[in-house]
Structure 1
Amino acid sequence: MSVFAKAKASRSRSLKSILGGVAMVGVSALVLSGCAAPAEEDTAEDTGTRQDLTLKIGTALPVTGSLAFLGPPEIAGVGLAAEQINAADLGIQIEVTYGDSGDADNKAYATEVPRLLSDGVSAIIGAASSGVSKLFIDDVTGAGVIQFSPANTSADFTTWDDNGLYWRTAPSDILQGEVLGNLIAEDGNETLGIIYLNDSYGTGLTEFTTEAFEGAGGEVVAAASFNAGDASFDAQISEVTAANPDAIAIIAFDETKTIVPGLSSFAKDKLYFVDGNLADYSADFAAGTLTGAKGTLPGLDTAELGTFTDDLQAFVAANGEPALKDYSYAAESYDAVILLALAALEANSVEGADIAEKLQEVSGGSGDGEKYTNFAEAAQAILDGDTVDYDGNSGPITFDENGDPTEATVGIFQYLEDNTYERIAN
């Protein structure tokens, strides 16, 4: 049995089944009201005593759809964090119910999110796509459940009316757009064309990239959008290449596999990718297709993460899964679970609202907590009555009052001859 299939979580799916994208059990006529985690009724405020907590979380991460390549590292990050928290045995145990967010086209979330809520989770990790998160955020936060995304970057979430229940470990696209726009300008490009997905992620990142590039003296000469589910991109490619830009930025997801071949006559080292499509294309394109192309991705350099990547690989291997090809948003997913567990310990409660009230504190966003970089030491400090400031594998985090991280790193990557990529700068 997978480590994810806990004895007390009979409806949880194993790592093998969720990564394999098995058929989902249908759920009908679910009543979403009152779906917050069942009360472990006494809180610290009620009794002054500490209790053993069982925190139920769900995942709505992409197993299917245009962002499915991000699913394995994100799901592994969640599972590894839960395993380590449970092994620490410091007053809290995690039960995970795994689910598929899908995308805006296949709408897997429409069945999965109600299933997770009916299972009594206190928090849902996901979605990866900002556009998908917008389709269920009101259902989740309206049910008193925390929605915690490791990869949402749309600036819209900063001011979303979420009852203080939406949080994310990924930085806003304001930062990534600034890095990308400046990178393209610093590479000596004076004009830029953009092909982008017409959703909150694509339009937002296009806006912030444009602002940065033009602020650096460049000019965006063409910007062509496409919709989720589109299969042909000839019109967008023609519009952008007709403007004869020095560089082209592709702000997309899996559609990139269709867009790139249409740009075969464009200089490879003048293509720029983003977090949504910075992927291993070694099995998709002929060698040399992307040599020299660049891209941006939030997160620390894996060289700075110590044993974290080794631990992830050992974790998926122990569950009979293929080795991870990359680690996109794995650290952010891992940290989301750690922060939820620390906040629950601090609140001495598994109620969504109680946990949310402590998330900023345990991230170091309020108070004068002492810094900790692993769960066991931070949890013990909380049990000892101290205030903690968790700095994770994704960075210092340090939430503001809107649930946004105030400190983040965006890496710059370059593609090699085999269509894999390597980090070249922060």
Structure 2
Amino acid sequence: MIRIAPVGRALAVVAATSLALTACGGGGGDTATQTSPSSAAPASSAPAAKGDGTLTLGTLLPQTGSLAQLGPPEFAGVDLAVKEINEAGGVLGKPVTKYDTDSGDTSTNIASQSVDKLLAQKVDAIIGAASSSVSLSVIDKITGAGVVQFSPANTSNELTTVNDRGLFFRTAPPDKLQGRVLGDLVVSDGNDTVGILAMQDSYGTGLADQVTQTVTDGGGEVVERVDYDPKAADFSADVAKIKAKNPKGIVLIGFEETTKVVQELVKQGLTSDKHKWYMVDGNLSNENFLKFPKGTLDGVKGTYPGAAAPDEFRKKLLGINKDLKDYPYASESYDATNLIALAAEAAKSDAGTDIAAKLIEVSKTGEKCKNFKECADLLKAGKDIDYDGVSGPVEFNEAGDPAVASIGIYQYGKDNTYPAKAVEYKNGNISG
């Protein structure tokens, strides 16, 4: 079902207030972490359809699973925003309350259990998940409860057209933009024959489709594409199919299982000094690569959505989590939190449906501002605002996607680490 245009989205969020979802009790052991005192509601209680005057946020971000490496910077981005919001007086005159939960990955039911817990706490908005497939597995439960779901990292094209009742937003651009930038990069590097190894899920196949189209449009040929099972114990047969076609360029689209794929590529002689390798946001910051012999990934390039995190912002994040080494999607998480808070201020309500109705408005066509306090002061003065965040301008289109976004192109060195800053940034229109 096609996502709803602005008027339709408004009608949808109003209609969603009449919907309530009874949350099923989650299994023990994964308790939500709250940042302000609150008594836990019974797991069977339905979330409130109307706001109670306190903006309550939940995070559904990876503490475990195939994207666990993205969790720390995402949590830090949310925590920094909440800290600054509360220091500026909070939302609607009250401190923001936050509960943290684990999204896990699609191999478990952790995300569904976490959502149940957050809905039982009567959250107004949920920030997450990082994985598009995880979001797709819980979006009906979240939006059916009249709660905003706002992902800082979902890139699947499928989420543009999902029936979300006008309640799903994201600060990360859809894969069609990353796919275009990656495909153009592959072709411009002189690869007229290309092999693709992509994990078989909405993220992997969607991104592989766009790369295939862009490579083909650019005069190249995808001579072999393998959509593999990321849970497979062995990838020798998948890599052998690529080897049989001997492509100049090899695109790797996946998560942490890419470690095993790379090992198999090396084993079968498809090393990065003989074939040009390319990666994506799901596997670029894989710490397992540091265990490989030096030079294994030397010169390998990859794409990552989002603008560079400014140095000042990184210093603030380290004040939240001193152990941070990488910053993927920290900016997007920070901006998601601020936008939700500003939309609540603009709506004069913390109800999820009211927040959703104002998110597009606070993201564009008003007076520009760059942080919560600055923007909130403008709202209190009766002015329209245009929040320009750390991750970029974040101007939402009618689908809840950022209309314009940046994609960074990164390159590994001989020590198998990629630089903190991109070699180059490509800006593009999502509809372009």
* TM-score exceeds 0.5: yes
Contact kept? 1:9, 1:96, Cα under 8 Å: no
Equivalent residues in 2 for 1:199-210, closer than 5 Å: 199-210=201-212
Contact kept? 1:192, 1:247, Cα under 8 Å: yes
Q: Verify: 1:35 aligned to 2:47, yes or no.
A: yes
Contact kept? 1:73, 1:326, Cα under 8 Å: yes
Give deviations 1:114-137, integer Å, cap 9, x for gaps.
Answer: 111111001111111111111000
The correspondence for 1:313, drawn from 313, 318, 335, is: 318
Shift of 1:280: 4.5
Contact kept? 1:343, 1:359, Cα under 8 Å: yes
The correspondence for 1:283, drawn from 282, 290, 296, is: 290
In structure 1, the residue matched to 2:358 is 358
386-395 or 258-267, which deviates more: 258-267
- Counterpart of 2:303, as a letter, is T
Contact kept? 1:154, 1:200, Cα under 8 Å: yes
Contact kept? 2:58, 2:98, Cα under 8 Å: yes
Shift of 1:285: 1.7
- Counterpart of 2:414, as a letter, is E
Q: Verify: 1:388 aligned to 2:391, yes or no.
A: no
Give deviations 1:122-180, integer Å, cap 9, x for gaps.
Answer: 11111111111110000000010011000111111111111110000000101000000
In structure 2, the residue matched to 1:56 is 56
Q: Distance in 2 between matches of 1:39 and 1:326?
A: 36
Shift of 1:37: 6.4
Q: Verify: 1:173 aligned to 2:175, yes or no.
A: yes
Partner of 1:395: helix, strand, or coil? coil
In structure 2, the residue matched to 1:348 is 348
Q: Distance in 1 between matches of 2:411 and 2:69?
A: 19
Shift of 1:284: 2.9
Shift of 1:267: 3.4
Shift of 1:306: 4.4
Partner of 1:167: helix, strand, or coil? strand
In structure 2, the residue matched to 1:135 is 137
Contact kept? 1:280, 1:419, Cα under 8 Å: no
Shift of 1:375: 1.1
Contact kept? 2:224, 2:245, Cα under 8 Å: yes
Q: Distance in 1 between matches of 2:188 and 2:148?
A: 40
Percent identity of equivalent pairs: 48
Partner of 1:300: helix, strand, or coil? coil
Contact kept? 2:308, 2:391, Cα under 8 Å: no
Q: Distance in 2 between matches of 1:314 and 1:343?
A: 27
Shift of 1:5: 4.4
The correspondence for 1:266, drawn from 270, 276, 281, is: 270
Give deviations 1:209-231, integer Å, cap 9, x for gaps.
Answer: 11111111000011111224222
In structure 2, the residue matched to 1:182 is 184
Equivalent residues in 2 for 1:35-184, closer than 5 Å: 35-36=47-48, 39-40=51-52, 53-89=53-89, 91-184=93-186
| TM-score between both structures, scaled by the size of structure 1 | 0.87
Q: Verify: 1:299 aligned to 2:306, yes or no.
A: yes
Provide the aligned length of Structure 1 versus Structure 2.
384
Q: Can you give the 5+ residue segments of structure 2 that lack an aligned partner in the other structure? A: 1-32, 426-432
In structure 2, the residue matched to 1:337 is 337
- Counterpart of 2:84, as a letter, is Q
The correspondence for 1:239, drawn from 238, 241, 254, is: 241
Contact kept? 2:256, 2:286, Cα under 8 Å: no
| TM-score between both structures, scaled by the size of structure 2 | 0.86
RMSD after superposition: 1.7
Give deviations 1:174-208, integer Å, cap 9, x for gaps.
Answer: 10000000000001111111111111101100000
Contact kept? 1:97, 1:116, Cα under 8 Å: yes
Shift of 1:95: 1.1
Q: Verify: 1:421 aligned to 2:418, yes or no.
A: yes
Contact kept? 2:290, 2:417, Cα under 8 Å: no
Q: Distance in 2 between matches of 1:191 and 1:70?
A: 32
Q: Distance in 2 between matches of 1:10 and 1:417?
A: 52
Q: Distance in 2 between matches of 1:263 and 1:332?
A: 33
In structure 2, the residue matched to 1:192 is 194
Q: Distance in 2 between matches of 1:410 and 1:9?
A: 40
Q: Distance in 2 between matches of 1:421 and 1:374?
A: 29
Partner of 1:93: helix, strand, or coil? coil
Shift of 1:7: 3.5
Partner of 2:77: helix, strand, or coil? helix
Contact kept? 1:126, 1:147, Cα under 8 Å: yes
Shift of 1:108: 1.2
The correspondence for 2:218, drawn from 213, 216, 219, is: 216
Shift of 1:232: 1.4
Shift of 1:54: 2.0
- Counterpart of 2:332, as a letter, is E
Shift of 1:252: 0.3
Q: Distance in 1 between matches of 2:387 and 2:75?
A: 21
